[in-house]
Amino acid sequence: MSEAVIELEKLAKTGKYLFHGSPMKLDVIEPRRAIMLAARAQVSPGHYQSGFSFSNGKLSFRANKETLTTARSNITGFVYVLDKGSFRKHSSMEYRTSASVRPVRVFEVGADDLPAEIVTVD
């Protein structure tokens, strides 16, 4: 487990932060309109799909084969740590903001940082 993952897990346990992942290095996270999966599938190259769920205290991840192949190809991405106080709770697993937010911290992550158990979906 990398130092980034260890530190991210410590931050997550505090309950003070939200996390956002991106393949791009960003200085500020700007609010964007959510894209419906059906619409995205028509315009997104490669039809990447992934998601997660939290049930009975357990976090689980899922992705289609194309997404997993790309994610495991030693590319790097970034996890942004965001102050939860800058957001309002929209649903049990979704927070929103209408303002741009500067990350508290940014971690570079790679294929070795992916969870071992990711369910493959069609």
State residue 26's pLDDT score.
92
State residue 35's pLDDT score.
55
Q: Break the chain into its structural domains and give their ranges.
A: 3-121
Measured distance CA(11)–CA(109) in Å, rounded: 15
Q: Is the pLDDT of residue 44 over 50?
A: no
pLDDT in tens, 74-92: 788 899 999 999 999 998 8
Confirm if 52 and 21 have CB atoms less than 8 A apart: no
- 35, 106, 18, 53 alpha-carbon torsion, rounded to 10°: 60
Pick the residue with more confidence: 34 or 36? 34
In 56-111, beta strands by DSSP E:
58-64, 76-83, 88-91, 94-96, 105-110
